[in-house]
Structure 1
Amino acid sequence: MYSNEDRQLAKKILEFSCELEKGQNVMLQLVGLNGIGLLRALVEHAREMEVNPYVQIEDTEIRRMLVETGDKKFWKGQAENDQLPLMKKMDAFVGVRAALNIYEQADVSKKANKAYADHFVDPVHYKERVNNTNWVVLRYPSEAFAMNAKMPTQRFREFYYKACLLDYTELAEAMEPLQARLEETDMIRLEGEGTDIEFSVKDQTWIPCFGKRNIPDGELFSSPILSSVNGHITYAPSVYQGKPFEYVKLEVRDGVVIDSDSSNNEALEDILDTDAGARQFGEFSFGLNPVIEEPMYDILFDEKIYGSNHLTLGNDYEIAPNGNESNIHWDLVCIGADVYLDGEKIREGREFIVDDLKSLNPENLLSG
């Protein structure tokens, strides 16, 4: 019916991440049929908790067909007549992303993506689900997923569950000294191969992430002061809107991208031209999951790579705002840059080098 690992994962999601209580409502959304085992485990555990599951199963090819053909009127109807009224009744949301082909939407036009984002994703997810439910989103392992990670299937499954079932309570404790430092910081600088960029985070809000919204988890994020970002940055491989990028390089002046280069410049320019906010930055984060070592073309994993940072193009989060508004939110990841807080080097490459932060290094977090 489902594996023991999926049983453990379902329990962690519903009890720890969503913090569900008897009689509450949870939407269980499966996108891609590959994750049916985990969905079964979630439904069974929800009923054991006397929680009310509302189950949605979406085929990824059907979703692609709808996104390709949907316009403003179509998506407003989908949101207002179906998804938004239901989401408003939910106490929690679990989104299992189980697509076998991460490039399924690669050929969807910019216009179609914008209609979907503006009139469905924004009202249903960004405005309602993100702000008014205990939500968690995760991927599900597959042979295709293992291939992107460049691992044999069985080793990838072992890696996947180790990353997802991390002791997040221990990670949360280890994050506290870093959060305390960042809350007193004005300027952050990243310096590494192809990267030399700085920005202010003075008086910004810092949010520790330890299994409450994403699985796997492990990041500490805020947002830069909009006009303060200056320099250049080189990012690791990424996939956005189904389009692959082997690298992305940006040059930034006073918070705005003024020049760029990538392995897919036509697609990059389309993304940067989405709106004014797409050329500015809505988030900055430290990746802190000690199990995740290398990029695997999946941002829910890649943004948590230990020894990484993501300086995100596009929309900010209301919980840690800087005023940037955009229809994109692209978590591009920079791995292994030295990190300076107000001139003090706290991380050399991927290793924290100051005593109060060394507990975040993998050899300490995974020692138990």
Structure 2
Amino acid sequence: MDLQKIAKRIINENLSVKEKEMVVISAGPKSLKFAEMLAYESSMIGAQPAIMYGSSEHILKTYKNINSKFLRNIPELSKIISRNSDVEIHIDESNPFLDRQLPQNKLEIRRKTVKPLRDFVEKRILKKTIKSVLMGFPTEEEAKALGINFNKLNRIFWNTLDVDYNELYKFNKKLSKHFKNADKIRITGKNTDLKLSVKGRPALNSCGLWEKEKGGFFNLPDGELFFAPVENSANGEIYFDLPTLWHYGKQVEGVWFKFKNGKVVEYQIDKGKEAFEDIISNASGNKLNIAELGIGTNPRARPTGGLTIVDEKVMGTIHLAIGNNIGFGGKSDATIHWDFFKEMRNKSLLEVDGKPVMVNGKFVD
């Protein structure tokens, strides 16, 4: 795998970085060399890169020992960066075994403190005055937490990222025609019969190309069509048969939600219920409100057992999120955004205004 070639494509094609643009790259110890590759490619076209470094060990030690009052201080450096950077590349290097030890109460204090900064950046993203990408980066610790061989996880991740993004854009654009002027969506399957509305909410083509995205934020790897559903519209039940690994290292599996007027009113969880309740109890805002409906469209993606940035892109699956959707046209404001994945290739159906669009994981022409 030629990582330098991938870095060059990310800078020049995915992000379309220009001369004199300020490029801020966030990385950890295992992704630092790749961050340097991104910085090099930025410099080669006359952009101005800077690398911000942090490790899971440092973050855990800080959060365990810091006085909570200091977490309420607005980070002035972050404020300067959020106002002045042209490009932000966040490399999500994770050690779930350390991340799951982070005190959720302190994390929530910090999330509330930096929320005005996050809201400001999200407004810039919607206006396309900043290019922002969240990129995964597989680690041995992440593979162990997912219960998958690292070489397999590494191969799946980079294969998923190495998709033809122009073809992905075309596929998503064609699929989005099924949702033009759409209102009612119904999802049925195992322990699932959920209805929701996307009336007035456009299908967002997440294709990994900044110049073709409607907003300025995307993932790498990418490949989904997604919506911010009408906040009070979800009613019924849905079962997520694929596991999810929360951003702070906590895995949940076999999740069943019952929605009423857009909110989760009942839930059952086969594995990780305590972790789910710990995160939810410490979050604030509309944390149990439906936030997103996404449809995986990356033909190279394969399930990893819970790595969100890959698993939500798998063709033949859908995902729902609860929590925040302000950044992509919704009105649900919360300090978390949590995705849950559903396999659709096992006697499942997605209908749009009564017409089938996905039958057993296959798209209808």
Following the alignment from structure 1 to structure 2, what is the Cα–Cα distance between the partners of residues 248 and 307? 19
Moved more, 238-247 or 225-234: 238-247
Q: Return closer, same or farther for 1:349/1:295 CA change in 2, 3 Å cut-off.
A: farther
8 Å CA contact retained: 2:234, 2:259: yes
What 5-or-longer segments of structure 2 have no aligned partner? Answer: 210-217
Per the alignment, residue 219 of structure 2 pairs with 214
Residue of structure 2 equivalent to 1:362: none
CA contact (8 A) 2:146 2:245 kept: no
Q: RMSD of the alignment, in Å?
A: 2.1
Q: CA deviation at 1:116?
A: 1.7
Correspondence for 1:95 among 90, 95, 117: 90
Q: What residue number does 1:280 align with?
A: 289
Distance (Å, rounded) in 2 between the aligned partners of 1:125 and 1:25 = 18
Q: Is the 8 A contact 2:71 2:106 kept in 1?
A: no
If the length of structure 2 is used for normalisation, what is the TM-score?
Answer: 0.88
Q: Report if the CA contact (8 A) 1:206-1:320 is conserved.
A: no
Once residues 248 and 185 of structure 1 are traced to their aligned partners in structure 2, the CA distance between those partners, rounded to angstroms, is 28
Asked if 1:191 is matched to 2:188, the reply is yes
Deviations 1:59-80 (A, max 9, x none): 111112233445664234352x
**1:359 alignment counterpart:** none
In structure 2, how many angstroms separate the alpha carbons of the residues matched to 1:62 and 1:276? 28
Q: CA deviation at 1:110?
A: 3.0
| Corresponding residue number in structure 2 for 1:334 | 342
**1:74 aligns to 2:79 (yes or no):** no
Task: Please state whether the residue corresponding to 2:99 is helix, strand or coil.
Answer: coil
Alpha-carbon distance in 2 for matches of 1:58, 1:78:
18
Map of 1:1-368 to 2, 5 A cutoff?
Answer: 5-30=2-27, 32-70=28-66, 73-77=69-73, 79=75, 81-99=76-94, 101-120=95-114, 122-128=115-121, 131=125, 132-147=129-144, 151-212=148-209, 213-235=218-240, 236-240=242-246, 241-262=248-269, 263-273=271-281, 274-321=283-330, 323-336=331-344, 337-352=348-363, 354-355=364-365
Per-residue deviation, 1:143: 2.9
Percent identity between the aligned chains?
22
- CA gap of 1:194–1:299, structure 2 versus 1, over 3 A, is same
Other structure's SS at 1:228 match: coil
Cα deviation, 1:131-156, whole Å, max 9, x if unaligned, reads 34201111223333444565544444
CA deviations over 1:60-107 (Å, ceiling 9, x no partner): 11112233445664234352x2211123110001111223x2232213
- Deviation of residue 285 (structure 1)? 1.1
Range 49-58 or range 9-18, more displaced: 9-18
Q: Cα offset for 1:21?
A: 0.6
Tell me the secondary structure at the aligned position of residue 16 of structure 2: coil
Shift of residue 276 of structure 1?
A: 4.8
Q: 1:249 to 1:103 in 2, by over 3 A?
A: farther
The answer (yes or no) to whether the contact 2:297–2:315 under 8 Å persists in 1 is yes
Give the SS at the match of 1:86. Answer: helix
Letter in 1 for 2:253: E
Q: C-alpha deviations, 1:19-49, integer Å up to 9, x for none?
A: 211111000110x311122112112111111
Q: Is the 8 A contact 1:295 1:305 kept in 2?
A: no
Q: Structure 2: which amino acid aligns with 1:338?
A: L
SS of corresponding position for 2:326: coil
Quote the residue 2:214 is aligned against. Answer: none
Query: Following the alignment from structure 1 to structure 2, what is the Cα–Cα distance between the partners of residues 67 and 73?
Result: 12
C-alpha deviation, 1:284, in angstroms: 1.2
Distance (Å, rounded) in 2 between the aligned partners of 1:154 and 1:340: 38
Q: Could you tell me how far apart the structure 2 residues matched to 1:150 and 1:123 are?
A: 37
Deviation, 1:344, is: 1.4
